[in-house]
Amino acid sequence: MNPQKRHDIFARLRAANPLPRTELTYVSVFELLVAVILSAQATDKSVNKATAELFRAANTPASILALGLTGLSKYIQSIGLYNAKAKNIIAMCRLLLERHGGEVPATREALEELPGVGRKTANVILNTAFGHATIAVDTHIFRVANRTRIAPGKTVREVEGKLMKFVPPEFRRDAHHWLILHGRYICKARRPACPVCIIADLCEYSHKTPP
């Protein structure tokens, strides 16, 4: 795919959605961090349903730590892998209090030291909470990047590297949101909605679904 096509793709995505936002519900950086940790292998809808109740009861590192593992688990048991996620969140809250005064750090290194926070989660926080031009590659973005040929790669890290290289700087900050939403609602895994796709003529996917 050539640079002009990439530019035109993101120009169209921006025109259709000038201010893209995450679909996770949160009111603080800490709430966002908890929601992103919970969203691994879970839908944003299921996470929002669980955190609506959780955050009414506890929405700071100290208050979640006070719930304890059993108390926290009760709020998130509808989410997949909730036992492991609850352990990570409790440990993460403890570390935030011990090392960062209860505040979510704004550097990749510090974020990735937190339990339950890997590169993808760190990228989401850096981008959504702190405005960094990072791109977190999840299953949707991995699929879209490869299907369209915007940034094909065999691994998540390879796709991330190519996106950071190939996405024009003016679009880089919001690229994560545009691509994840496109993958979630248009370029779906089983049957992409090519007939209604606004970038279908620019996309290089060779098996487009017919009208």
For the annotated catalytic residues, the residue numbers are 120, 138
Tokens 């990072």 sit at which residue?
A: 134
- Mark out the alpha helices in the chain (DSSP H runs): 3-16, 29-38, 44-57, 61-76, 82-100, 108-112, 119-128, 139-148, 156-166, 169-185
Whole-number Å distance between alpha carbons of 195 and 29: 38
DSSP secondary structure letter of residue 208? P
Q: What is the dihedral of CA 129, 8, 161, 155, to 10 degrees?
A: 100
107 and 147 in contact (C-beta within 8 Å)? no
Whole-number Å distance between alpha carbons of 142 and 154: 9
**For residue 98, what are the contacts with CB-CB under 8 A and spacing of at least 6?**
none
